[in-house]
Structure 1
């Protein structure tokens, strides 16, 4: 990136307290440990730490400018820009910088699968364009603006993950990223503690279209119960993907082999065979989204399909490891009811030895928590798992749900990861498969590391 202190000041409605207005900024950081020559430091005032205390250290490390909401006067060779809120200023600057680019922007949102879908959309598009994509899950009120500053003149498309957990957040993200195209993967109950109902969740996610124009396209999952209700009330041009024959891009003849899935893509122009090196119906849906976007943006389907054959799961997202003849499915990054059901289905695709599900607490479910955990357990018990290990107080309801369906199913409630690790070491033998999944705060990746 390249902006001057003067441009930045104008973009955020700030006031230059000192320094040269022609100071050039070539990167933006909210982390005082990640400073390069030419960085604009954006100190965020958090509940525990006020990053304004690190401003001097960032200048010593090479920063050329800083925002501040704490200072009214300064005398320094560096550029200090006074703003009312550093977080809001970051968003305003990012919005101005984004509008320097006339390439197609594709926003990705949904309750489950945003990051994987973002990866597959970007991969399919890369068959015909130089793509910038969100790294990791930088999809928040701070992460998304930082993503904007990675845009370069060489980019021909941008795939932006957009996450929200409360009212108004998606609208703000849409004003920053201004996506021309948007994908909604599904509507689950993640963050329902704040948003109260699934209808509210859908309404909030659809704010991803707030900056749409007459040529914009909305890509929706036709398999999702709530989204499919929008079929006859299109506000925007809509492209549907899923396993329903009425979808514009739909999958049939779905087959799974070890660590891969094959299906037939029925597209408007014909049928194609797709091989995806990932398991689970949810990944078929994610791949369909990628192919639909790629085709709409002019990438030949044959080339996009070939690119998807190169897909590799991200860390802690259904990565499959084999250790001492045991298959470990590391899906420890996060958890929601729908995601757990999909992952348990993947586990049950393994047919040798015992199939053991390790499931930890799901958070941010509010009043739905007890029922959601119970229902997940009941579902898991119907799939054919051979044992269930849970971690956490909430997850005890997973056991209750499982035993309501299969009282004879071996179930073990553990208080923490250490207890679960010990139990697994006594249960696992050669040929077994074990799934590990829980909300991020449960740190179930510790279990995976112990097994590996």
Structure 2
């Protein structure tokens, strides 16, 4: 890997090298934290997790031909080289920064309370019409995930689109120091992670720390429909480019029309002109994602036609507003994660369906002291929707049903303690022609419900 010699890595993470000096100029083939993925000439960073301590796997990894280990422990006399550091988690970030610094490419950094991944996919789809794009895979957006994403950079990449997820104060700078974005994108400031960041203002304070590591001459792209983000003025001499539904934004949409579960049509306006397009995934929030893609595309020099093509070629993603037609039912697979804003947006998408509408909903995690109230509010929101049946899973999701009942709604409701308790009853609850939304926090494993629905 470019620039990742043992000597350079030791300096980058301020470690102490133990081993033969003759190896200092050797470059790593890969940098890994999963011992099962380690191979010949790889560098293994031993991370101590909640359940497993990577240090226990160092001997077996080195036996497989790894080049070097990174350890917090003094391993004593060994037959293999290793770098001893104070924190292997920080060393992973330091090595990733060293590797990122070896590439002269544009980096788009994305964060926000809701929609980071779907916005990342939209931006990547747009930029791929002009550039060879590298992007975050899956949910590798954390202090361990971001470095692994960076390590996938290759010489042919021209732009990197990096998702940055945080839920504690102090985490954003750890990520943005590595990413050093040329374009900083914030999608919204919602109520996700209130358990740790306490208030929406606290969330914004932490998210906007990304701007501190923006490259000179960089750009800031913000959702102008968000009341907190829209209040942000120039930062480090950079005036933000806002996107939204208001003509006051630099990039905005008009003539928005729902095409049901086929998506939405609209006219997008940029400083370079306007164009009509079809956003191929349903929901008003996807129009917002398209505007983010258009704004970043404009900043990085794409034509209106390239931006339109990128929006209309957006690929579907499992678990994220993914529509599955089985022949008997239509499944809205949005089970990757959930918070109050995304839950209500998914309910709005379900309302677009033709036929009976069923919502299978689980708990939303990391909501702090107001978690019951926020689940109850989702129930009240459902009561005012066109939903015909709600199936709630998990103890906390009882509050959703209570919110429905207290609103005087006649929505049919069912409750199950666990996913596995529900699955055997799907055949009797779900009817041919139903539109079925599946959504919950990822920890509930609702992908198993999606799979079971496809087998009905």
Pairwise same-fold verdict (TM > 0.5) = yes
2:409 and 2:288 map into 1 onto residues whose CA distance is: 34
- The answer to whether residue 400 in structure 2 is matched with residue 398 in structure 1 is yes
CA drift of 1:23 comes to 2.2
CA 1:214–1:178 in structure 2 vs 1: closer, same or farther (change >3 Å)?
closer
CA drift of 1:110 comes to 0.4
CA drift of 1:235 comes to 5.9
Which of 411, 414, 432 is equivalent to 1:412? 414
1:169 and 1:446 map into 2 onto residues whose CA distance is: 32
CA drift of 1:36 comes to 2.7
Which of 250, 254, 257 is equivalent to 1:255? 257
Conserved in 2, the CA contact under 8 Å of 1:278 and 1:312? no
CA drift of 1:407 comes to 3.1
2:234 and 2:31 map into 1 onto residues whose CA distance is: 44
Which of 31, 34, 52 is equivalent to 1:31? 34
1:423 and 1:272 map into 2 onto residues whose CA distance is: 47
Conserved in 1, the CA contact under 8 Å of 2:270 and 2:298? no
Conserved in 1, the CA contact under 8 Å of 2:69 and 2:83? yes
Q: What corresponds to 2:332 in structure 1? A: 329
Q: What corresponds to 2:64 in structure 1? A: 61
Q: What corresponds to 2:157 in structure 1? A: 155
2:51 and 2:27 map into 1 onto residues whose CA distance is: 31
CA drift of 1:234 comes to 8.7
CA 1:435–1:235 in structure 2 vs 1: closer, same or farther (change >3 Å)?
farther
Q: What corresponds to 1:446 in structure 2? A: 448
- The answer to whether residue 230 in structure 2 is matched with residue 228 in structure 1 is yes
Q: What corresponds to 1:380 in structure 2? A: 382
Conserved in 1, the CA contact under 8 Å of 2:234 and 2:240? no
1:124 and 1:409 map into 2 onto residues whose CA distance is: 40
CA drift of 1:440 comes to 0.9
Helix, strand or coil at the partner of 1:317: coil
Q: What corresponds to 1:98 in structure 2? A: 100
CA 1:262–1:6 in structure 2 vs 1: closer, same or farther (change >3 Å)?
same
CA 1:188–1:259 in structure 2 vs 1: closer, same or farther (change >3 Å)?
same
Structural mapping, 1:12-411, within 5 Å? 12-19=13-20, 20-76=23-79, 78-230=80-232, 236-257=238-259, 258-352=261-355, 354-411=356-413
Helix, strand or coil at the partner of 2:169: coil
CA 1:300–1:372 in structure 2 vs 1: closer, same or farther (change >3 Å)?
same
Deviations along 1:315-335, one digit per CA (max 9) or x if unpaired, are: 111111122421111111110
Helix, strand or coil at the partner of 2:387: coil
Question: Can you give the 5+ residue segments of structure 1 that lack an aligned partner in the other structure?
Answer: none
Helix, strand or coil at the partner of 2:448: helix
CA drift of 1:351 comes to 1.7
2:408 and 2:425 map into 1 onto residues whose CA distance is: 20
- My pick for the range that moved more, 150-159 or 343-352, is 150-159
Conserved in 2, the CA contact under 8 Å of 1:17 and 1:72? no
Query: When the two structures are superposed, what TM-score results if normalisation uses the length of structure 2?
Result: 0.95
Once superposed, what is the RMSD of the aligned Cα atoms? 1.6
Helix, strand or coil at the partner of 1:210: helix
| Number of aligned residues | 450
Deviations along 1:284-327, one digit per CA (max 9) or x if unpaired, are: 11111111101111111211211222212211111111224211
Helix, strand or coil at the partner of 1:63: coil
Conserved in 2, the CA contact under 8 Å of 1:5 and 1:79? no
- My pick for the range that moved more, 413-422 or 365-374, is 413-422
1:83 and 1:233 map into 2 onto residues whose CA distance is: 35
Helix, strand or coil at the partner of 2:396: coil
Query: When the two structures are superposed, what TM-score results if normalisation uses the length of structure 1?
Result: 0.96
Conserved in 1, the CA contact under 8 Å of 2:274 and 2:304? no
1:143 and 1:379 map into 2 onto residues whose CA distance is: 34
Question: Can you give the 5+ residue segments of structure 2 that lack an aligned partner in the other structure?
Answer: none
2:9 and 2:216 map into 1 onto residues whose CA distance is: 30
Conserved in 2, the CA contact under 8 Å of 1:74 and 1:80? no
CA 1:244–1:397 in structure 2 vs 1: closer, same or farther (change >3 Å)?
same
Helix, strand or coil at the partner of 2:35: coil
Conserved in 1, the CA contact under 8 Å of 2:122 and 2:310? no
- My pick for the range that moved more, 257-266 or 271-280, is 257-266
Helix, strand or coil at the partner of 2:119: helix
2:249 and 2:235 map into 1 onto residues whose CA distance is: 15
1:410 and 1:234 map into 2 onto residues whose CA distance is: 54
1:80 and 1:397 map into 2 onto residues whose CA distance is: 52
